[in-house]
């Protein structure tokens, strides 16, 4: 499912290259043979600063932009910091997309999230489900920001003839994830909790919620491969598989599991042999989140990393970085 590179000398900016998704995209582009990849740390370029971003885009004369920079977190973080989640994500995407346009960048890929879909959307969720119902309250501010990013891309395409594309990944995990016990997503949080239980010889691991919600998980290397694949498609092919006013594409595995099943797999990967307890006083979030990925499959791409294999890879990364992993 490879496509040939559009040109090894293209100047590509990956926004958010220090994050899990951005770093995976950089690795993928390097594997494909792109040598002119531009990155900036937060200290070098503050994406919340409109003038700095505009000056950067105007001076660098970029060919492509991958917008992977975002403020992300799990249920706890989204509940605790809703203002930061909506403000920072809105500002970053607005600054980058507008500045890319002003700087003459014709191709841009915006990375969103499956939380853009309504809480009670018909499963699996198709791209057409966008804005057809009420969002999940626990991450509504973040979801609204991501929806705005999609609409920014569509608006610049519509008004200025840009080729700004959007991909909506399901729940991501893998190397470079955030393992902070308070604001991480479910996989890194459980990997760390099970790991510590094994180290401390604890015979019980408590898991938030009932364990019944269904979730789909995609390894970040698969996400990066899909992102590069979608970006490389010629414009005619891409447009033929999207709708004029609905141009985003779902990225996932098309397979989900319960949180209980996920926990059992993580227990296997980490070597935990104790009991699992589910704390039903904690929120479950959306009952089910499964993406319809038929559109992406029709374009010739599908995920290749199985969940247990991917979890083992993520756990191995955690083990080798546990002294200095991101908090």
Give the residue extent of every domain in the chain. 12-321
Calpha distance 114→124 (Å, rounded): 11
- Strand-pairing partners, residue 12, are 37, 64
pLDDT of residue 13: 98
> Is the pLDDT confidence value at 167 over 70?
yes
**What's the Rg (C-alpha) of the chain?**
19
Please report, in range form, the residues annotated as the binding site for NADP(+). Answer: 16-22, 111-114, 146, 169-172, 185
Percent of the chain with pLDDT strictly greater than 90: 80
Contact criterion met (CB below 8 Å) for 99 and 52: no
Catalytic sites, residue numbers: 142
pLDDT band of 145, cuts 50, 70, 90 = very high
pLDDT band of 270, cuts 50, 70, 90 = very high
Neighbouring C-beta atoms of residue 302, cutoff 10 Å: 15
pLDDT band of 75, cuts 50, 70, 90 = confident
The dihedrals phi and psi of 256, each to the nearest 5 degrees, come to -125, 175
Please report, in range form, the residues annotated as the binding site for substrate. Answer: 193, 208, 215, 284
> Is the pLDDT confidence value at 153 over 90?
yes
Quick: pLDDT tens for 291-313: 999 999 999 999 999 999 999 99
Could you tell me how many residues make up the chain? 327
> Is the pLDDT confidence value at 7 over 60?
no
pLDDT band of 188, cuts 50, 70, 90 = very high
The model's pTM: 0.92
Closest alpha carbon to 113 in 64, 82, 68: 68
> Is the pLDDT confidence value at 139 over 90?
no
> Is the pLDDT confidence value at 190 over 80?
yes
Q: What angle do CA 302, 116, 252 make, to 5 degrees?
A: 10
Q: What angle do CA 46, 49, 51 make, to 5 degrees?
A: 120
Please report, in range form, the residues annotated as the binding site. Answer: 16-22, 111-114, 146, 169-172, 185, 193, 208, 215, 284
> Is the pLDDT confidence value at 164 over 90?
yes
Closest alpha carbon to 179 in 196, 192, 170, 166: 192
Q: What is the dihedral of CA 102, 106, 107, 111, to 10 degrees?
A: 30
pLDDT of residue 245: 66
Q: Helix axis angle, 307-321 relative to 186-199, nearest 10°?
A: 60
3-state secondary structure of 113: coil
Closest alpha carbon to 215 in 190, 252, 179: 252
What class does CATH assign to 12-321? alpha beta
- Strand-pairing partners, residue 37, are 12
- Strand-pairing partners, residue 13, are 38, 65
pLDDT band of 2, cuts 50, 70, 90 = very low
Quick: pLDDT tens for 213-243: 999 999 999 999 999 999 999 999 988 887 7
Quick: pLDDT tens for 9-32: 899 999 999 999 999 999 999 999
């Amino acid at each position: 499912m490879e496509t040939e590179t559009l040109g090894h000398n293209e100047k590509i900016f990956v926004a958010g290259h220090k994050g899990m998704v951005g770093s995976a995209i950089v690795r993928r582009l390097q594997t494909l043979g792109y040598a002119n990849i531009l990155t900036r740390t937060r200290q070098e370029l503050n994406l919340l600063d409109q003038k700095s971003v505009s000056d950067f885009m105007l001076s660098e004369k970029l060919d492509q932009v991958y917008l992977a920079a975002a403020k992300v977190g799990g249920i706890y973080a989204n509940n605790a910091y809703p203002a930061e989640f909506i403000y920072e994500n809105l500002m970053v995407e607005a600054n980058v997309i507008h500045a890319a346009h002003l700087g003459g960048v014709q191709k841009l890929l915006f990375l969103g999230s499956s939380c853009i879909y309504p809480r009670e959307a018909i499963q699996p969720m198709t791209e057409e489900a966008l804005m057809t119902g009420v969002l999940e309250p626990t991450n509504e501010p973040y979801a609204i920001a991501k929806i705005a990013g999609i609409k920014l891309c569509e608006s610049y395409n519509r008004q200025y003839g840009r080729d700004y594309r959007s991909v909506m990944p399901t729940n991501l995990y893998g190397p470079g994830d955030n393992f902070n016990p308070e604001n991480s997503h479910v996989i890194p949080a459980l990997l760390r909790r099970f790991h510590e239980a094994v180290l401390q010889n604890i015979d019980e691991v408590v898991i938030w919620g009932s364990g019944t919600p269904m979730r789909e998980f995609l390894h970040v290397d698969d996400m990066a491969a899909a992102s590069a694949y979608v970006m490389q498609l010629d414009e005619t092919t891409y447009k033929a598989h999207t709708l004029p006013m609905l141009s985003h594409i779902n990225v996932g595995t098309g397979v989900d599991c319960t949180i209980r099943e996920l926990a059992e797999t993580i227990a296997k990967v980490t070597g935990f042999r104790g009991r699992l307890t589910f704390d039903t006083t904690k929120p479950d979030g959306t009952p089910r989140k499964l993406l319809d990925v038929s559109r992406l499959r029709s374009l010739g791409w599908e995920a290749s990393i199985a969940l247990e294999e991917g979890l083992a890879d993520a756990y191995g990364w955690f083990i080798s970085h546990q002294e200095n992993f991101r908090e």
